[in-house]
Amino acid sequence: MNARVEPSQAARDGVSDAAQPAQGRVLGHVVNGVAILTLERPQALNALSHAMVRALAEQIERCREDNAIVALVLRGSGEKGFCAGGDVRALYHAANAGRIEGEDGWRQFFIDEYRLDFALHAFPKPIVALADGITMGGGMGLAQAASLRIVTERSKIAMPETRIGFVPDVGATRFLSMMPVELALYVGLTGAVLSGADAVRCSLADVCVQSEWLRGFEARLASLPPDQVSARLREAFVPPAAPLPHAPIDAVLPAIEKHFDPRSGVGEMAASLAAALISNPHPDLRAWLQTALDALHGYSPTMLHVTREALLRGRRITLADAYRMELGIVSRAIEEGDFREGVRAHLIDKDRAPRWHPASLADVRPERIAHFLSSPWPRARHPLADLGELPPLRASRLPS
C-alpha cells in the first residue's frame, strides 16, 4: 500500500544514513503524498541522539520544499514508545568531558534540537504526531508542534526533567501554558506521568484512540482521493466515534488547584501538601498527595524553584523567547547546576541518592534563582537570536 514517489527527495528511505545504528536513525517514506518519518532507535525508546536530531531536521526541510508532500507524520518504531526524550546519558558524558560546542558538544545538541522543534512549529503543512506509548521530554517537543496530536491507551506523557536537576524544556515553558496555571505547575514541577486520556484533558493531545486502530493508518491514507488527502487527513487517524476514555487526573483536579497555587512558592506548595496528607483519610488521595510531596522534597531544589518561575514567565512570552530562555537555563544547569549529579544518581550509578546543591528548598537563595533565569548572552549574541515569531500555539490545528 506504500506508494513511493521516486522523484521526490522526501520519498526516499533512510535519508539519515549518516546516523549510525547505535545512535539511531530516521526513516522516511511517502504514502499518497504524506511523508511518514519514523524515529528508529527502539532499544532506547527512540531517545533522540544528536545524529537523529540533525537527520530529522534535514528531512523536515526536504518535506517543506517538496511540493509533492502535502502532510507529515511523526512516529516511533517499536511497541513501547514514540520518543522518551533526548539522549541524556550522551549529554552527561559530553558535559563531563568538557565538550560544549561543535558536532558532539552538549550545548550544540540543544541548539539544534530547539531549532528543529521551532521548524516543526513553523512547518507550513499539516503534521500528525503519533504519541503512542512513552512520550516524554524531547518527544513532547516534537509532538506539541503537530497539528494533530494522537495518543492511545498505551501513552505515558510527561515532562520529568526536574527529577534529574533539569528544567522542562523543548518549548515546555510555553506549551504547558495551554492548560490552567495550577495544572501546568503540577505537571512541570512533579514530572507527573499522564495517561492518553489525561493528556487530552490537559490540552497536550487532541484525541485518544486505540493503539490497534493506528496499525491501519497507512492503508487508510492510501485509500484517500489524492486531491483530498490534506482536507481529509484526520480520517486516517481518528475513527468516526472516538469517545474520550476516563481521565484519572479528573479525580485530583481540585487538589491540584488547591496545592499548586501560582501565588505560592515551591516551599509553600510542599507545606500545603504535607498538611493535607496529615488531615486527609482517603487512601487514593493520600497516595497522590504523598507522590506529589515526594517530588517536591526529592527533586533538585534549585531547579524546582527555577522551573516554577520559568513556567510563569512562559505564559507571557513568545515561543521563540521560551526557547531562548530555556537554553540559558539549560546551560547554567549543566555548567554549574544539578544536572550532572541528577543523571549520575538516576541513570549512571543508579544509587537514587542525588546530592543536590543546595540540599533543600529553603536553602535556595532568590539571587541563585535569578541567576539561572538570566541569559548568559546579550540578546543579539544569543545562539537562538534569529528565531522568528509564530502565531499562537495550535493555530494550525486540523479541524475536527
Shared domain for 219 and 302, answered yes or no, is no
Residue 42 pLDDT exceeds 90? yes
Output the CA–CA distances (angstroms, integers) from residue 285 to 181, 253, 281, 376, in the order listed. 21, 11, 8, 42
Q: How many CB atoms lie within 10 A of CB 22?
A: 10
**Shared domain check, 47 and 81:** yes
Q: Residue 389: pLDDT band by 50, 70, 90 thresholds?
A: confident
Mean pLDDT of 335-362: 97
How do residues 266-306 score in pLDDT, each as one tens digit?
A: 999 999 999 999 997 888 899 999 999 999 999 999 999 99
Does residue 173 fall inside a structural domain? no
Using DSSP's 3-state secondary structure scheme, residue 106 falls into helix
Distances from the Cα of 80 to the Cα of 43, 83, 231, 331, angstroms = 10, 9, 30, 31
Please indicate, yes or no, if residue 400 is contained in any of the structural domains. no
Mean pLDDT of the chain: 92
Q: Is 138 tagged catalytic?
A: yes
Write down the pLDDT at residue 323. Answer: 98
Do 228 and 306 share a structural domain?
no
Asked if 24 and 46 sit in the same domain, the reply is yes
Residue 136 lies in a domain: yes
Q: What CATH number does residue 208 fall under?
A: 3.90.226.10
Summarize the confidence of residues 188-208 as an average pLDDT.
Answer: 97
In a domain, 363, yes or no: yes
Q: Does residue 182 fall inside a structural domain?
A: no
pLDDT at 376 exceeding the cut of 90: yes
Instruction: Determine, yes or no, domain membership for 174.
Output: no
Residue 69 lies in a domain: yes
- Asked if 229 and 271 sit in the same domain, the reply is no
CB 73, CB 131: distance < 8 Å: no
| pLDDT value of residue 315 | 96
In this prediction, residue 394 has a pLDDT band, given cuts at 50, 70 and 90, of low
Q: For residue range 140-194, what is the model confidence (pLDDT) as tens digits?
A: 999 999 999 999 999 999 999 999 999 999 999 999 999 999 999 999 999 999 9
> Is the Cβ–Cβ distance between 164 and 88 less than 8 Å?
yes
Q: Which domain holds residue 319?
A: 248-381
Residue 212, pLDDT > 90, answer yes
Residue 9 — pLDDT band, cuts 50, 70, 90? very low
Considering the candidates 85, 86, 165, 328, report the single residue annotated as catalytic.
Answer: 86
Please indicate whether residue 86 is annotated as part of the active site.
Answer: yes
Is residue 169 annotated as part of the catalytic site, yes or no? yes
Task: pLDDT band for 15, please (50, 70, 90 cuts).
Answer: very low
**70 and 21 in one domain?**
yes
- Say whether both 148 and 264 belong to one domain: no
Same domain for 69 and 97, yes or no, is: yes
Is 218 found in the same domain as 138? yes
Domain count along the chain: 2
Task: Compute the half-sphere exposure of residue 199: CA atoms within 13 Å on the CB side of its CA.
Answer: 32
Q: Are 343 and 88 in contact (CB under 8 A)?
A: yes
Set 24, 33, 81, 138: catalytic member = 138
pLDDT in tens, 220-269: 999 999 999 999 999 999 998 877 789 999 999 999 999 999 999 999 99
Cβ neighbours of 145 (radius 10 Å):
28
Residues 329 and 365 in one domain: yes
The pLDDT value recorded for residue 17 is 32
Is 254 found in the same domain as 212?
no
The percent of residues in the chain predicted with pLDDT above 70, rounded, is 92
Residue 6 has pLDDT above 60, yes or no: no
- Same domain, residue pair 24 and 150: yes
Classify each residue of 286-314 as buried b or exposed e, where b means 16 or more C-beta atoms within 10 Å of its C-beta. Answer: eebbeebbebbeebbbbbbbbbbbbbebb
Percentage above 90 pLDDT, the chain = 87
Q: Which of 113-127, 216-230, 231-245, 364-378 is predicted least confidently? A: 231-245
Is-contact 135 78, C-beta < 8 A? no
User: What's the maximum distance between 2 C-alpha atoms anywhere in the chain?
Assistant: 68
Q: Which of 117, 161, 198, 321 is an active site residue?
A: 161
Work out whether the CA dihedral 227, 152, 212, 154 comes out positive or negative. Answer: positive
Question: Is 4 inside a domain boundary?
Answer: no
pLDDT for the residue numbered 400: 63
**How much is the pLDDT for 393?**
63
- Mean pLDDT for the stretch of residues 334-340: 97
**Per-residue pLDDT for 397 more than 90?**
no
Residue that is last in its domain, among 236, 260, 291: 236
More confident residue, 1 or 139: 139
Q: Which among 40, 112, 169, 326 is annotated as catalytic?
A: 169
Q: Average pLDDT, stretch 339-347?
A: 97
